[in-house]
Amino acid sequence: MKRVLNFIDGQFEPPCSGRYLPDVNPATGQVIAELAESGAEDVDAAVAAASRAFDAWRRTPAEERSRLLIRVAERIEENFEELAQLESEDSGKPIALARRIDVPRAVRNFRFFATAILHVETPAHMTDDRALNYTIRQPLGVAGLISPWNLPLYLLTWKVAPAIAAGNCCVAKPSELTPLTADRLAALIAEAGIPPGVVNIVHGPGASAGRALTSHPKVPLISFTGGTKTGADVMAHAGPLFKKVSLELGGKNPNIVFADADLDQAVPTSIQSSFANQGEICLCGSRLFVEKPIYDEFLGRFLEGTKKLRIGDPLDASTDVGALVSDAHRGKVEGYVALAREEGGEILIGGKRPRNLPERIQNGYFLEPTVIAGLDCGRRVMQEEIFGPVVTVTPFGSTEEAIAYANSTRYGLSASVWTRDLQKAHRVAAAIDSGTVWVNTWLLRDLRVPFGGMKESGVGREGGFDSLDFFTEAKNVCVKL
Ligand code: NDP
């Protein structure tokens, strides 16, 4: 059986514990690999390797760092199909989605930051004729990078690429549920010629390997993507050590459809934003709000389109909805469907495990796309992140009501607004408390824009020069004239 080892100082190393955890394919329920069950000792070794590599890497000219990062992008492209397959088998996502989103985005992440560092400017401030101030930005040292299971390679590379482009070395901790593409990335990074110790990957549980990283005194910076509750634990450990922290957390994103929307676009995109990746994307629109005059028409078309989604083997290129990441996670999502009933909601479609699946995937963790109506905004199902193929739908009467509904949770990650009225679009976008507002679209990502959440959806912004700012420290040099 395949063993996923840690990648430390350019070598694949067994965990100090000598223990391994099972890695399960969620579509079949079969164990497909074992991964290192690492803890503080492994993290110590990885941090020591990264610290040793830092001095030479930070002095490596930007053009050379850029060249090496582009080679990583090329190596990912050359292994595109293998990575798509590994991602699909490890997470349960449809291979079509891994081909369309996950792997291409990993390539873009490396290309984007490889070229961004060639265009950095240094501001200068004249203090009349008394002094010249200039600002330099310097890497901090060892970056701790913690990423989740829903977009494993996409989000890992979204952290590794800017961290090392800016001249840091890093220790990354992928989710124990999806270690396979991180393992493959480690080999590709070595093949690309990134020096040993610049990128280290430690596998294992969040509570041991992850926490060892957030509380390590020689890791001055943590970039974390995951759940809001875990984010609080990261803060609790990183805070007393005054680490620089960026948190990309959960969402309960509103998708607002006004009566004047172009339904030919709003309906199919809303189906995507509700159920893509089985709803396991932090940016999924899990609360649909539809203006009353078009509620019935929209809902009819939305349900009709949702029924046509093909649930099936993630390795089949025609599958739209794959398996949820684990049995425990499916249980949590099903718990919310049961809670919706208790809270007085009506399950319009879905809510059940699909039947008649092909033999190979009969023990997989599948759940039908589920649409729930009839809940007030204050209900738990309308307040808590479910992170599965479940969407609520609620009618609204006025723009003010839509804004109030949208802002009624403790989250503030993203929102979509559908309208042909430009002024209304701008007004609503300004009034919604979220880090991103899409107008007449969803998940259109320009890597230069600031990305992050308001309220309990996160702290800080990454993306473009915001990422390079996060992964460097600004220093003012004041020269008396
Ligand atoms: P978790 O918060 O459970 O885990 C995220 C990562 O943190 C994993 O690598 C996990 O390891 C690790 N971890 C767990 N506990 C600790 C700890 N105490 N200290 C340090 N690290 C720890 O999130 P999920 O993996 O379940 O991912 C889903 C969540 O991620 C959702 O809430 C989703 O909204 C959010 N997310 C946010 C995004 C954003 O950009 N805002 C993007 C994508 C997802 P392990 O899994 O091995 O336990």
Position in ligand 1 atom list of the atom nearest CA 205: 47
The end-to-end CA distance of the chain, in Å, is 68
> 390-396 and 199-201: which strand pairing?
unpaired
Mutate which of 6, 201, 225, 324 to test ligand 1's pocket (most atoms within 8 Å of Cβ)?
225
Nearest CA to ligand 1 atom 9: 175
The token pair that represents 362 in the structure block: 């009969």
Nearest CA to ligand 1 atom 11: 206
pLDDT in tens, 205-263: 999 999 999 999 999 999 999 999 999 999 999 999 999 999 999 999 999 999 999 99
Burial profile 163-179: b = 16 or more Cβ within 10 angstroms, e = fewer: bbbbbbbbbbbbbbbbb
Mutate which of 282, 329, 449, 466 to test ligand 1's pocket (most atoms within 8 Å of Cβ)?
282
Average pLDDT over residues 285-306: 98
Position in ligand 1 atom list of the atom nearest CA 176: 47
What Rg value do the Cα atoms of the chain yield, rounded? 23
Nearest CA to ligand 1 atom 48: 206
Position in ligand 1 atom list of the atom nearest CA 248: 41
Distance (Å, whole) CA 159 – CA 78: 21
Distance (Å, whole) CA 478 – CA 219: 28
Q: Per 3-state DSSP, what percentage of the chain is helix, strand, and coil (rounded to 5)?
A: 40, 25, 35
Mean model confidence pLDDT for the chain: 98
Q: Separation of 232 CA from ligand 1 center, angstroms?
A: 11
Nearest CA to ligand 1 atom 25: 148
Nearest CA to ligand 1 atom 13: 206
Q: Separation of 249 CA from ligand 1 center, angstroms?
A: 8
Nearest CA to ligand 1 atom 22: 206
Position in ligand 1 atom list of the atom nearest CA 325: 26
Q: What percent of the chain has pLDDT over 90?
A: 100
Average pLDDT over residues 435-455: 98
Nearest CA to ligand 1 atom 31: 227
Mutate which of 150, 158, 230 to test ligand 1's pocket (most atoms within 8 Å of Cβ)?
230
> 20-25 and 436-439: which strand pairing?
unpaired
pLDDT of residue 126: 98
Burial of 241 (0-12, 13-18, 19+ CB in 10 A): middle
Q: What percent of the chain has pLDDT over 70?
A: 100
Whole-prediction pTM value? 0.97
The token pair that represents 108 in the structure block: 């873009």
Average pLDDT over residues 266-295: 98
pLDDT in tens, 46-90: 999 999 999 999 999 999 999 999 999 999 999 999 999 999 999
Q: Is 201 left (phi over 0), alpha (psi -120 to 50) or beta?
A: beta
Average pLDDT over residues 348-364: 97
Q: Phi/psi at 122 (nearest 5 deg)?
A: -115, 115
Q: Separation of 403 CA from ligand 1 center, angstroms?
A: 29
If residue 414 lies in a helix (H) or strand (E), which one and from where to where? strand 414-418
Distance (Å, whole) CA 247 – CA 235: 9
Mutate which of 23, 24, 42, 149 to test ligand 1's pocket (most atoms within 8 Å of Cβ)?
149
> 472-480 and 131-139: which strand pairing?
antiparallel
**Of residues 371, 355, 370, the one with CA closest to residue 290:** 371
Which residues, at least 6 apart from 148, have a Cβ–Cβ distance to it below 8 Å?
A: 155, 175, 225, 226, 227
Average pLDDT over residues 23-41: 98
Q: Phi/psi at 421 (nearest 5 deg)?
A: -90, 110
| Residues whose beta carbon lies within 6 Å of some atom of ligand 1 | 146-150, 173-177, 205-207, 210-211, 214, 225-227, 230, 233-234, 248-251, 282, 385, 387, 413, 453, 458
CB 73 within 8 A of CB 114: yes
Residue by residue, DSSP assigns 56-122 as HHHHS-HHHHHHHHHHHHHHHHHTHHHHHHHHHHHH---HHHIIIIIHHHHHHHHHHHHHHTTS---
Burial of 378 (0-12, 13-18, 19+ CB in 10 A): exposed
Q: Where are the alpha helices (DSSP H) in 323-459?
A: 327-342, 380-383, 399-406, 422-431
**Of residues 86, 50, 31, 389, the one with CA closest to residue 194:** 50
pLDDT of residue 209: 98
Q: Separation of 292 CA from ligand 1 center, angstroms?
A: 37
Distance (Å, whole) CA 433 – CA 347: 28
pLDDT of residue 431: 98
Q: Phi/psi at 201 (nearest 5 deg)?
A: -130, 125
Q: Separation of 230 CA from ligand 1 center, angstroms?
A: 6
pLDDT in tens, 374-430: 999 999 999 999 999 999 999 999 999 999 999 999 999 999 999 999 999 999 999
Q: Separation of 223 CA from ligand 1 center, angstroms?
A: 11
Catalytic residue list: 248, 282
pLDDT in tens, 131-143: 999 999 999 999 9
Burial of 225 (0-12, 13-18, 19+ CB in 10 A): buried
Q: Separation of 206 CA from ligand 1 center, angstroms?
A: 8
Mutate which of 6, 101, 171, 175 to test ligand 1's pocket (most atoms within 8 Å of Cβ)?
175
**Of residues 280, 286, 289, the one with CA closest to residue 253:** 286
Burial of 114 (0-12, 13-18, 19+ CB in 10 A): buried
pLDDT of residue 279: 98
Nearest CA to ligand 1 atom 15: 206
The one-letter code for the residue type at 200 is N
pLDDT of residue 103: 98
Nearest CA to ligand 1 atom 42: 282
Q: Separation of 259 CA from ligand 1 center, angstroms?
A: 37
pLDDT of residue 341: 98
Position in ligand 1 atom list of the atom nearest CA 177: 46
